[in-house]
Amino acid sequence: KFSESTFASGFFSLFLCRSSIAVRPIRRTNGMSTLVCGATGAIGAALARRIFSRGGTLVLAGRSESSLQSLSKELGNATYRVTDFSKPESVAASLGDLPEDLQGFAYAVGSITLKRITAAKPADYESSFALNVISASEAFKASMPGLKKNKGSAVFFSSVAASKGFASHAVV
């Protein structure tokens, strides 16, 4: 059952402790609305296409308006919101009003700062935390009314580098 406390404990364990999660395959979405953050990246776009192919309704969010327009046309003129997730203070406002029937939320926003720990600066960690934790939280908070009302689900994507450890991935 969805609750704020469940989200808080799961969210912070996902991002701070780097735990892994299991995801059930998407079979049928029967018109449910899903917000896909990071929709124009490889993972976000693939997820949006899969949801659309199973009858889902989409709200696409990402930085590039031209890429969002193109993906929107491909996916039946899906609604989209230009959102710069590197600026957490503007996320909720740029997402605007979300559909009342919102049942799905996916945060597939990402970047990768390739630096060894000896080259990483505090600002590198701050920007990564802002993008991967604060903006994810702000986008999720904007989605909560619909998700709670409709007993929805949320998925937060992370990098395998967070649990495996690779050279030059100190900031991940």
Q: pLDDT digits over 73-109, tens only? A: 999 999 999 999 999 999 999 999 999 999 999 999 9
Residue 91: inside a domain, yes or no? yes
The whole-number average pLDDT for the span 15-25 is 40
- Is residue 28 in some structural domain? no
Query: Per the domain annotation, does 5 fall within a domain?
Result: no
Q: Confirm whether 94 is domain-assigned.
A: yes
Q: Which domain holds residue 39?
A: 33-158
Evaluate if pTM is beyond 0.75: yes
Query: Does the residue 76 lie in any domain?
Result: yes
pLDDT surpassing 80 at residue 19 = no
Residues 26-30, mean pLDDT to the nearest whole number: 57
CATH for 128: 3.40.50.720
Nearest partner of 86 among 56, 109, 55, judged by Cα: 109
The CA R_g of the chain, rounded to the nearest whole Å, is 16
In this prediction, residues 120-145 reach a mean pLDDT of 95
Residue range 83-93, pLDDT digits in tens: 999 999 999 99
Q: Is residue 172 part of a domain?
A: no
Q: Does a structural domain hold residue 2?
A: no
Average pLDDT value for residue range 54-65: 96
Structural domains in the chain (count): 1
